[in-house]
Structure 1
Amino acid sequence: MPEEKGRPALSDATRGRLLFGGDYNPEQWPEETWHEDVRLMKAAGVNSVTLGVFSWSKLEPEPGAREFGWLDTLMDLMHEGGIGVVLATPTSSPPPWMGRLHPDTLPVTEDGRTEWWGGRQHFSHSSATYRRYAAAITEDLAARYGGHPALTMWHINNEYCTFDHGDEAAAAFRRWLREKYGTLDALNEAWGTAFWSQGYDTWDGVLPARQPHYMRNPAQVLDFRRFTSDMLLECYVAERDIVRRHTPHLPVTSNFMPLWFGQDAWRWAEEEDVVSVDLYPDPRDPLGAQHGALVQDMTRSQARGPWVLMEQAAGPVNWRGVNHPKPRGLNRLWSLQAVARGADAVCYFQWRQSRQGAEKFHSGMVSHAGEEGRTYQEVKRLGADLARIAPEVSGRHSGADVAVLHDWHAWWAGAQDGRLSQRVDHADVLKTWHRALWQAHLTTDFAHPEHDLSAYRLVVVPQLYLLTDAAIENLLAYVRQGGTLVCGFLTGVADEDDRVRPGGMDARLRELFGIRTLHEWWPLDAGESVACEGFGGTLWSEELEADGTADETLPYKGGELDGLPAVLRKDRAWYVSTLPEPDALRDLLARIAAGTGVRPVLDGLPEQVEAVRRGEVLFVLNHGREPVTVEVPGTHRDLLTGTSVTDRVSLGRYDVAVLRP
């Protein structure tokens, strides 16, 4: 992300280490437990804890009151134990008195239902009352602890994820729209309100995307999603600016949820000193490691360098239908995978597993089994591993030769109710294409379609239904300058107002790929497929007519589209009008990548093994349950074991080698 001149960075908090720790909620425990926690933290190599995330009612038990004594004790205790503190503003969960005294602070759903206190994240992002109380508690926290020697970083709020359709949000939405469009005529044009007699004659008639009798206006919904992301960002920036004023030397972050629908993380990352994310792959998911790799690649790309794994689970979570623990070794493997892909901090929710409350069955670094439990013993081993490798990897960043393009606005627009196939989900398509590259052992960055792409040999667009003119020109320039572009189906269909472009695909893109006419989209039902030359396609197909300029085509075989192009290549631009079956997509992308000179870090890798280079250090990770031997030409030192490795390394189940030449 573009760095503000003079702003602190993650390195100011890590100081050459890998941060290790997690959310610490000592207010759930008697004070005598706190000293025991420090002993266990030090034994496990914990050097960082996050305090205060859900502590608002403890800090402000009634309006205007301040109870800081307990937090004073904890800040001092952490400092005495040599443990740094990431201090959170507690504004994600207002106290019950706020909703009771100020119902305007409570969010309202699209069908008019108030979301009450008793859980968390029960605040309206547009509420002036909420913002006033949030600023006041943030101001007092920053003033009291800004000079404390334990403080290393600020954590604003937690997992911003609220929507609000209430009256105050409606007024804020109208202000946002006035600023964007200026006039009602411009709004009506952008929203296409001539359809279904929706034309507005007064700003007071414009509402959030509340529940109508039938389908909502997709352009209105798109703008409401943009507005929601912006309102949440305003809340973050307001608190960030308060703590920055008190501690200009300390970095500030707020934790993303991975690939969350409601937040334009590209824009948010530009406002953060440190980019952080929470990551909870399902331990029973055979593709859990690939999901982790996708989130890690995306977060590293948003940070444009090292990043923070703010939350993960040491064992089971509590919010799936069935919550499985992590098998022995998996927690270590996935933690080191995050470091391999750029994390300079490995943290958990939470330190000590709760005995009460909604998350008492969510694991902690210290589980209900205590110090002798397997979870803590594995955490302790990981802490030692991170200390061994930190001098060689902390602060290092390695770029990739492949970029995958993603844009939240395209996702929002493509998710409209009236789309051609409810089976087509932007996030699922994105994951499928990233999985193909991951299974081809190719490390990728992510990028916004308007970013500078010149550093990449290969740019992959799984699906971008909405593309701005600037994004299209950027893709054209990338190919003209020698880059190779691969685009999936349903790309370039709409402009930034969700207005379908003439021809169903932007004319500039049709010319780029060698397409004369896109006659029809042919979505596929569940279980339905199309045969193509050399592979099968799923989910989608398109009736394309080539213009005769393509250098290579792979046709559909049989059915309504027999003989028409399923895949076209014109010079260095590829268009794939279906979703190839997983092995076929992997092989196609691997072939295209090889043609650009992009190759895996190691050749001949077993299917379940991942190899990632960070700086000069090579991580080799076995995601399988069976032992493997991996060819690693040359002589290396395994930083985890201190042993020398020549030409090959043996890995047990869920095992990792961290090799330095």
Structure 2
Amino acid sequence: MTQKIPPISGKLPVLMHGADYNPDQWLHDPRILEEDIRLMKLAGCNVMAIGIFAWTALEPTEGTFTFEWMDRLLDTFKENGIYAWLATPSGARPAWMSERYPEVRRVAANRVRNLHGLRHNHCFTSPVFREKTAIINKKLAERYGEHPAVIGWHISNEFGGECHCGYCQDAFRTWLQKKYSTLEALNSAWWTSFWAHVYTDWKQIESPAPHGENMVHGHNLDWRRFVTDQTVDFCKHEIDTVRGANPDLPVTTNMHMIEGLDYRKFAPILDVISWDAYPTWHEQQDDSGLGASVAFYHDLFRSLKQKPFLLMESTPSLTNWQSVSKLKQPGMHKLSSLQAVAHGSDSVQYFQWRKSQGSSEKFHGAVVDHAGHEHTRVFKDVAELGQTLANVSEVAGTTTPAETAILFDWDNRWAIKDSQGPRNMGIHYEETVLAHHRAFWEEGVPVDIIGAEDDLTKYKLIVAPMLYLCREETGHKLEKFVELGGTLVTTYWSGVVNEHDLCHLGGFPGPLRKTLGIWAEEIEGLYDHDRNGLVMLANNPLGLTGTFESHEICEIIHSEGAEVLGVYTDSFYAGMPALTVNQLGEGQAYHMATRLKPDFLQAFYKKIIEQTGVARAMDTVLPHGVTAQVRTDGLTDYIFIMNFSGKSSCVSLDNASYSRLESNETVEGTIELAVNGIELLKRQAK
């Protein structure tokens, strides 16, 4: 039976609500802290992330430490029942360090050392930077590790970027030597015989550069892996410097952009995953597309450790760095915040608590505006949400019962973006993954986002869009998954290269060929104005009929045992297979040979959901733009019904006995949802 996950902190075993707090910006006015405490309690905020960019306030000159203001802050928190995620301040280093130790400043890919400034403009390999980070971190840990207001460590801030200095070049070569042992093995893995780029000495290898080597795909892929490993190693270095003072304090680091780092590699060293979400709500009247994509990322970060995560940053109103600073419309703050909770977050936290008076984010949204009081729309929205979170805190620690998974690997993503073909004007990997995920979101089907190294046995259905980089062992795992009764769905551009970005020989889709029962002979990229189509064959086992438009990619495949369900409508390959299914052991594997649009994906996955019997949040038809998500402790299911459609809507409940989570009021029949509306219900667990 499913049980609750132990609370992230025993000191605060409820849903957390708070913000990034920067009192170090207001040390000149002690009245601010007193007023902030009053407002935090009024807003129902129980936790703050503090000290994130406070290195200069803590160590204004090398070796001189000023902790008195932090002492007062944490003691005041304790007196008022407020807790803190205490940050290590490495996200932005002091100017004195940049001046005295130039080596801490990053070197860009063009081999020019950066000036002081910005954030994370430092070298994670630099011995000096590691030494200085260890000193400040240990002092924080020794002073505050046992403080009753501290509930955990917030390690640095939004790790990212890369350095190409001499230290990093040496570390990269060491990393490569450990991985490949010999130059012969490296040259083979990177296929350096192309363009006569064979290496004869380890010293010849450098990181990819715009004015040097950047066209060897295995090289590029290994550099990205190295950057992740080096960043993880630095994060672990920071954790080690604070862990000893109080091993019971959990550690996290707030993740943000997925572009540069493989966040799955951070999961083993962190106690809890946290991430920062800043969607551009209201770009269109219908927010359902964006709502579905944000749900994907919530699912991704929840799946990294398969337990509740933290929404560490969001905005209570607007941002100031997006192309348009659009206000959250009425209802959207509650809806978007509780969407995170619906998908597994045990917190809603903001950047920032109080708007800065100056610098680059002085117009970024905050709970407390420049006006400095509670009489604003945004503050009232935050306070209302704070009350709701307090009322529904029994949800904290519950899990998401997903029987469906989407395979999403950073290695694969990097390799696809580097592939040079078949459609360099946009192969749209992320968009494709999001489109497949959205089909489940529309049906209210919980989904995990997993990697190839994860356990597959808990799932009934796995979707692997564009699994371009497919290791032999991944192919064997998916084959075994299908043989044991699982359902697999793949698409074009799958099984093409191995872990070194070398093409599988003997025919695509390489390690998936037996599982899918097809041979992919050619793949064609289409111009934006080109179109093809898929026509379903009569009496196909899915029961789908009609013709569906396809675009961008068409793969020419031959059946090697797979049943053809639909064929192309156009071009010289009209009549050839475009959709197949292969029976293997107790299961089946579907393959889409062309990029299909949402109308097909929705129709197709409805049939697959019925066929596999994967869990849905509710057994009802959900209107367009309305979704449902479920969390459970094994005894009670908590249902979140969310309206992102941009218009009012209603949902017919199924036959279960529901009550409202906040009031315990019995609910039956039809639920009416306002624009940006949300309903929180509970029922006996299925």
Matched AA of 2:554:
S
Match of 2:580 in 1: 568
Match of 1:581 in 2: 597
Matched, 1:70 2:69: yes
Deviation at 1:14, TM superposition (A): 6.2
Matched, 1:538 2:538: no
Match of 1:553 in 2: 565
SS in structure 1 of the partner of residue 98 of structure 2: helix
Matched, 1:117 2:116: yes
Q: 1:652 aligns with which of 653, 669, 674?
A: 674
Between the aligned partners of 2:315 and 2:211, the Cα distance in structure 1 is 40
Between the aligned partners of 2:489 and 2:656, the Cα distance in structure 1 is 35
Match of 1:84 in 2: 83
Identity over the aligned pairs, expressed in percent?
34
SS in structure 1 of the partner of residue 498 of structure 2: coil
Contact 1:10/1:307, CA 8 A, preserved across alignment: no
Change (3 A) 1:44 1:508: same
Between the aligned partners of 1:83 and 1:402, the Cα distance in structure 2 is 38
Between the aligned partners of 2:282 and 2:63, the Cα distance in structure 1 is 47
Superposed CA deviations along residues 257-282 of structure 1, whole A, max 9, x for unmatched, are 15x12211112112110111111111
SS in structure 2 of the partner of residue 539 of structure 1: strand
Change (3 A) 1:486 1:274: same
Change (3 A) 1:115 1:318: farther
Contact 2:534/2:567, CA 8 A, preserved across alignment: yes
Q: 2:273 aligns with which of 268, 275, 294?
A: 275
Between the aligned partners of 2:318 and 2:84, the Cα distance in structure 1 is 25
1:284-303 maps to which residues of 2 (within 5 A)? 284-285=282-283, 286=287, 287-303=289-305
Deviation at 1:589, TM superposition (A): 1.7
Match of 1:488 in 2: 491
Match of 2:14 in 1: 17
Deviation at 1:426, TM superposition (A): 2.5
Contact 1:305/1:342, CA 8 A, preserved across alignment: yes
Between the aligned partners of 1:238 and 1:9, the Cα distance in structure 2 is 26
Matched, 1:384 2:381: no
Change (3 A) 1:402 1:250: same
Superposed CA deviations along residues 584-624 of structure 1, whole A, max 9, x for unmatched, are 11211221121111263231111121111111111111223
Contact 1:9/1:251, CA 8 A, preserved across alignment: no
Contact 2:183/2:202, CA 8 A, preserved across alignment: yes
1:192-271 maps to which residues of 2 (within 5 A)? 192-212=191-211, 215-258=214-257, 260-271=258-269
Matched, 1:627 2:648: yes
1:441-520 maps to which residues of 2 (within 5 A)? 441-515=444-518, 517-520=519-522
Match of 2:351 in 1: 349
Between the aligned partners of 2:608 and 2:294, the Cα distance in structure 1 is 25
SS in structure 1 of the partner of residue 569 of structure 2: coil
Between the aligned partners of 1:436 and 1:647, the Cα distance in structure 2 is 25
1:356-375 maps to which residues of 2 (within 5 A)? 356-369=358-371, 370-375=373-378
Superposed CA deviations along residues 140-165 of structure 1, whole A, max 9, x for unmatched, are 11011111111101010111002112
Match of 1:5 in 2: none
Q: How many residues align?
A: 650
Contact 2:8/2:272, CA 8 A, preserved across alignment: no
**Structure 2: 5+ residue stretches without partners:** 536-546
Q: 2:421 aligns with which of 403, 419, 422?
A: 419
Between the aligned partners of 1:657 and 1:87, the Cα distance in structure 2 is 34
Matched, 1:106 2:105: yes
Match of 1:329 in 2: 331
Between the aligned partners of 1:184 and 1:10, the Cα distance in structure 2 is 49
Match of 1:394 in 2: 396
Matched AA of 2:621:
G
Deviation at 1:113, TM superposition (A): 3.2
Matched AA of 1:294:
F
Between the aligned partners of 1:635 and 1:402, the Cα distance in structure 2 is 25
Report the TM-score, using the length of structure 1 for normalisation: 0.95
Deviation at 1:504, TM superposition (A): 4.8
**Structure 1: 5+ residue stretches without partners:** 1-7
SS in structure 1 of the partner of residue 227 of structure 2: helix
Between the aligned partners of 1:480 and 1:175, the Cα distance in structure 2 is 41
Contact 1:56/1:93, CA 8 A, preserved across alignment: yes
Contact 1:215/1:418, CA 8 A, preserved across alignment: no
Matched AA of 1:540:
I
Between the aligned partners of 2:132 and 2:263, the Cα distance in structure 1 is 26
Report the TM-score, using the length of structure 2 for normalisation: 0.92
Matched AA of 1:269:
A
Deviation at 1:642, TM superposition (A): 4.8
Between the aligned partners of 1:535 and 1:525, the Cα distance in structure 2 is 18
Matched AA of 1:320:
Q
Q: Between 215-224 and 33-42, report the one with greater CA deviation.
A: 215-224
Between the aligned partners of 1:651 and 1:72, the Cα distance in structure 2 is 47
Contact 2:509/2:520, CA 8 A, preserved across alignment: no
Contact 1:634/1:647, CA 8 A, preserved across alignment: no
Deviation at 1:537, TM superposition (A): 1.1
Q: Between 225-234 and 498-507, report the one with greater CA deviation.
A: 498-507
Match of 1:3 in 2: none
Between the aligned partners of 2:615 and 2:526, the Cα distance in structure 1 is 33
Q: Between 187-196 and 647-656, report the one with greater CA deviation.
A: 647-656
Between the aligned partners of 2:190 and 2:510, the Cα distance in structure 1 is 23
Deviation at 1:169, TM superposition (A): 1.0
SS in structure 2 of the partner of residue 178 of structure 1: helix
Between the aligned partners of 2:511 and 2:216, the Cα distance in structure 1 is 28
